[in-house]
Amino acid sequence: MYSEREKILNKIYKDLEKIPSIYILYKLENYIECV
């Protein structure tokens, strides 16, 4: 049985797999510039 936290994490990971990695890298670069 999964805990609620693991269910949420699994859902997030599945959603992330649908997003192109280029988009993630773009977001990361913007995030790093803001910090």
- Report the predicted TM-score, pTM, of the whole model to 2 decimal places: 0.41
Residue 12: per-residue pLDDT? 86
Dist. CA 16–CA 25, nearest whole Å? 12
The values of phi and psi at residue 2, to 5°, are -90, 145
Count of CB atoms situated within 10 Å of the CB of 27: 11
For 1-35, the pLDDT digits (tens) are 679 999 998 898 888 777 777 777 888 888 877 76
Dihedral, 20, 32, 5, 13 alpha carbons, nearest 10: 10
Dist. CA 19–CA 6, nearest whole Å? 20
Residue 34: per-residue pLDDT? 72
